A and B are shown apart, each in its own frame.
Chain A
Amino acid sequence: MKNKSLIIAVLALLCAFLLPLLTNDYIVQVATEIAMYAALAAGWNLIGGITGYPSFGNVAFFGLGAMLAGAFSVNWHWPYWLAGIVAVLLTGVLGFILGLPILRLKGHYFSIATLALAEATLAIVTNLQFLGGGKGTSLPLIGSPLLFYYIMLAIACLSALITYLIVHSQYGNTLLAIKSDESAAQAVGINTVLAKSTAFALSAFLGSMVGVVYAIWQSYIDPPTVFEPGITVLMLVMTMIGGAGTVAGPIIGALIIGIMTQLAMAVSQNASSLILGLAIIVVVLFLPQGILGSHRSGKGGKRPGKHSFSWRG
């Protein structure tokens, strides 16, 4: 039984790996975006899905990763890989430190605080000349579309692996306990502050890693683009559609939204957002637990707290 899911995962990965052989550059570009959002959604899932703290500000980490790596490489002439590693580590540490106060809030209050966090980060970055300010940063045109596809794919796989390891570990049970009943978890001696902040830091770490690659892939970044609140919304919607708290949910969600976006654009250029929006509403109305969640409850009954998405915090 265990082998079967492993075989399917390997087959899916093989398909993704061989995809560029069958298609053209445009599809590779679309697939790169899907892999990118899969990684971002998986990062969001760590804090929003598994821990049950729906963050509306994860784009801040994506943006910080991109802007910091750009600034280090342009201003200090660091090689980009080094600039990227330092940017990712800094953002991860920042996520941990910011998590300490923000994760004291619950439910909607937490969501609002993270929303404000993203907006405040945007304002600060826009006014720091070191980070390029409002002018943005222009990076050299290097690498090939194929290279960036495989890097994004690797980050998406890494995100899935981290999620898998967490879900099947003692730490995962700790986060599950926090999601189910935080007071009870605290009462039995779990260091909830540390556990939550670590999850937030991991989420920041992954988001920032995607941002670093995005910056060099696009070769030009400016704050309004990399701090676009819609990016957080996509992470959230993808995770919810796929199934919050699950390993494969964010990836399935990213695939579905990515392909639906392309189909909607093929149907109508002007109404693509409308079509996509309606499709999301339909999915959320009829599959409130996400695709994996609903499948599960149909087969073996619901296990609230593990595979369902809870707004109770």
Chain B
Amino acid sequence: MKRSVFLFLVVMAAATVSVSAQTTPPASAVGDTFSDPVMETRARAMQRQLRCLVCQGESIDESNSPLAADLRRLVREQMAAGKTNSEIEDFLVARYGDFILMKPPLQSNTWLLWLAPFLVLGAGGAVAWITVKKASARVA
């Protein structure tokens, strides 16, 4: 009984989602949108990867600040001029530093940042292995 109720819920949930997810999202900034949906999607994805430098951790995609609006325009102008994503990124990093990237680049001063969680996971795994081995030795 409970299983069938849940089944119903899952199907309902999926159906709900299917109805609502059909439209492609338009831009956050009114006025400067691309009419080409491919370009628009690319611009939105790019905007989410760039930090609004004067806000608290917001991307330029979701910030109301004038600087974010300027940066959005800048990104779109460069895209319209045919620049690739990495060219635009390089340009912005040269201007504002790594601070503008929501995803920190993997380089000499960030490798520890990227590896640390997995180092801890590995170390934890090793300790777990030893613990379990010792405990099972006590059983025998």
Do A and B associate with each other? no
Residues on B close to A: CB < 8 A?
Answer: none
Q: Which residues of A contact B (CB under 8 A)?
A: none
